[in-house]
Every structure is written in structure tokens, then in C-alpha cells.
A and B are shown apart, each in its own frame.
Chain A
């Protein structure tokens, strides 16, 4: 099946620093990738839709300048949490869209646990 690789799987950083998370589709081209955030015991919340070669579409309430998304190629999207603060600590997951005919499926990365001290 399709594989989406997400790195790093966990990261600890100091408050005020920036953290970059990478999401790669290893065996297919993904024109669309999605970034989610999950708080403990809560649902996956869509943060933004990343489209190759264009600006990301952010969901309401998500700060564009804080969560920078770059989808530079058909296999790579990055999420940069800028000037991270403890409240940004969360589990971040990416997914890539793969379309086969009428059937579109999402394949998820393994997630990144971010802890901001």
C-alpha cells in the first residue's frame, strides 16, 4: 500500500524556537497533503490543506504565520511551527491524498509528538 513518511516522530524544543516537520509520500505523487493536530482524547483537527505549487489553505482559527506550510514538490510537504510555545505542544499528523479513478484515499504519516518546554 501507499506509504507516507513523517519526520521527526518526536521533538522537544525550547520555547521561542522553530520546528520543521516533514511529510513525504514515498511511492506516489500527492498533489494535496493535509496537516492535522490532535490533542489528547480529542479528534484530529484539520489545520490546513497543502497544495503543490500554491499557497496552503488554512482552516479557521489556524495562524498562517505561526504554522508555515510549504509543498515544494509532489512528494514533500513541510510544516514549520515558528516561535513555538508550550501551548503548541501536540501531536501533529500529515496525510497525503492519492486518487485512483473516482476513489480518493488518504494515507497518513506516523505523526510527530511536539513538546515545547
Chain B
């Protein structure tokens, strides 16, 4: 049961244009959402996050939008740069066993920014 879904396995965008990566979730207990960027053979690096009490968070070229009613969030990158080419993971946090937060990851979307 994939609770966090990234339905687009890949995305190609021209340099300078906007990249929009989408993520859907099913668990209403998720209260915090994160985006990670991952290069091959490396660990993911944190990009941006958003609490479930907000609908938008912006950090430089990266903006995350959350639509709770639709259980949907998206990451906007504008303008896109070739260095943004990587796999982007959507993640969601929920209370886990023992009182610890549990993070569930989506399957990732591979973004290619074409110069």
C-alpha cells in the first residue's frame, strides 16, 4: 500500500522554465511534508518542507504547495537549472510506533533540466 505516490517517474523541462513535481498521499494522519533531492549513489538532501497547517512555503527558487482537501502537494522550481537534474522524493511524516515520527517516502520523480 503506497501511502505517498509520485505518479510521474520522470519529467523533462527546459532550462529557465518551471518544473512542477507532484505528490499525492492517502494517509490523513500525515502532518508534515518534505521534499528531498537525490543524486545517484548519494543520500537524499533536504530541500523544503511544509506543515499541514500551511498551504504554501517558499524558499528561493523552490515553493511547495499543499492542498489538504485533495491530499496533494507539489514542488515548483523556477527557474529550473541544469543542476536541478536529480531524483526528487516526496515524503510525509506521521506519528510512528513508540511516539516517534515516521517518514514515508514516495517512489521519486527523475527531473531532467535540458540546457
Q: Which residues of A contact B (CB under 8 A)?
A: 4, 6, 9, 32, 34, 36, 41-46, 49, 51, 57, 91, 93-95, 97, 103-111, 113
Contacts and interface: CB of A to CB of B under 8 A. Distances in A.
A38 to B, nearest CB: 9
Interface of B: 2, 9, 32, 34, 36, 41-46, 49, 89, 93, 96-98, 100-108
A104 B34 CA distance: 11
Contacts of B100: 32, 49, 51, 57
A16 B13 CA distance: 46
B42 A106 contact: no
A51 B98 contact: yes
B45 A44 contact: no
Contacts of A45: 105
A57 to B, nearest CB: 6
Contact of A105 (B9, B46, B96): B46
B67 to A, nearest CB: 22
